[in-house]
Structure 1
Amino acid sequence: MSGATDPYAPFRPVTGARVARVAGLASVLVFGLVAVLGPTYAGAGPTMALLNRIFIAGLGLAMGAFLWRYALIRAIPSAAGLVVVNLVLRRELEWSQVASVTFTPGAPWVVLELNDTEELAVMAIQRADGERAKREASRLAALVEHHQR
């Protein structure tokens, strides 16, 4: 169900998630190929050559995992509140904790101003998504306003 018909539809980035998925898969593939098909340097013993290949493959997997995690960021609204899942942080908020929603020009994503003067980025609504991001920011602001009445 889209956000236009369901005010409680999850907020998810589109452009950033798509780029992160493609780049993550490419990282795993390219680094994996380099680890398997790459040259062995003269003077490196068999143990060192194997460790180099393992390191290269591991680096590709780590980059892929990081980028895949980036693709999973989201914000999940419900009647009770909002769960914000950013790159590292997961935070559950009640609607009463949110003072305002800001999406200032030039900012990469929406920021929630909380009642305790703290700010929380909502990476799920990203400026890279253009007009869609503005609509999603407005939908989040409307949810906050609705639940504060």
Structure 2
Amino acid sequence: MSEHPALPALPVTFRPGRTRAVLLTAGAAILVVLTVISLLIPSLSPGERLSFIFTGVLLFGVLMLLSRPKVVADDSGVTVVNIATSRRLAWAEIVRVNLRPGDPWVFLDLSDGTSLPALGIQPGIAKQRAIDDARALRALADARSPQG
């Protein structure tokens, strides 16, 4: 038996599915509740109603932004999409894939000596899934590295 997991078929997208579902569901619920409240309170002016709805839309937007992270691996490299940034890496740039106990997400050690957080693999709600995803990404990086 190999010490590395079987390599996933490319392209593959890693993302915290349960966390994303919770964030988007909560955002939609908040938007609906604030909209219904604004419509049910008869003493509100049109501007106050709009401010309730605007607040719901704003909160939903923030939660959508927090649900954005993912890591997409394909034949030519990896795209790391975090909350507000996106970065494309060639396989040769990735030296190591790290997910140590207590880490909030995977860190990619890069050939330029820096480290890039990859929020698309995070052990928050689904710890075993994050560990499996980190192992799969590590195996892909090892298989495609110039040293491997």
TM-score, length-normalised on structure 1? 0.84
Which has the larger helix fraction?
Answer: 1
- The verdict on how the C-alpha distance between 1:105 and 1:38 changes in structure 2, with shifts beyond 3 A counting, is farther
Q: CA deviation at 1:72?
A: 3.5
Aligned to 2:143: 146
SS in 2 for 1:10: strand
- Structure 2 residue aligned with 1:130: 127
Residue of structure 2 in register with 1:98 after alignment = 94
Q: In structure 1, the residue corresponding to 2:101 is in which secondary structure?
A: coil
Amino acid paired to 1:80:
S
- Paired residue type of 1:116: D
Determine the C-alpha separation between the residues in 1 that align with 2:36 and 2:85: 33
Q: How does 1:1-149 map to 2 (within 5 A)?
A: 5-6=8-9, 8-38=11-41, 40=43, 49-128=45-124, 129-148=126-145, 149=148
What is the CA-CA distance between 1:5 and the residue it aligns to?
Answer: 4.9
Residue of structure 1 equivalent to 2:3 = none
Deviations 1:94-142 (A, max 9, x none): 1111121111211111111112222211111111211111010000111
Q: How many residues align?
A: 140
Secondary structure, aligned partner of 2:12 = coil
Structure 1 residue ranges, 4+ long, deviating more than 6 angstroms after superposition: none
Q: Percent identity?
A: 27
Query: Structure 1, unaligned stretches of length 5 or more?
Result: 42-48
Is the 8 Å Cα contact of residues 7 and 143 (structure 1) preserved in structure 2? Answer: no
Q: Is the contact made by 2:99 and 2:106 (CA closer than 8 Å) also made in structure 1? A: yes
Q: Distance in 1 between matches of 2:70 and 2:101?
A: 21
In structure 2, do the counterparts of structure 1 residues 5 and 83 end up closer, same or farther at CA, with 3 Å as the change threshold? closer
The residue type paired with residue 85 of structure 1 is V
The one-letter amino acid of 2:121's match is I
Post-superposition offset of 1:4: 7.1
Q: Quick check: 1:16–1:71 contact (8 Å CA) kept in 2? A: yes
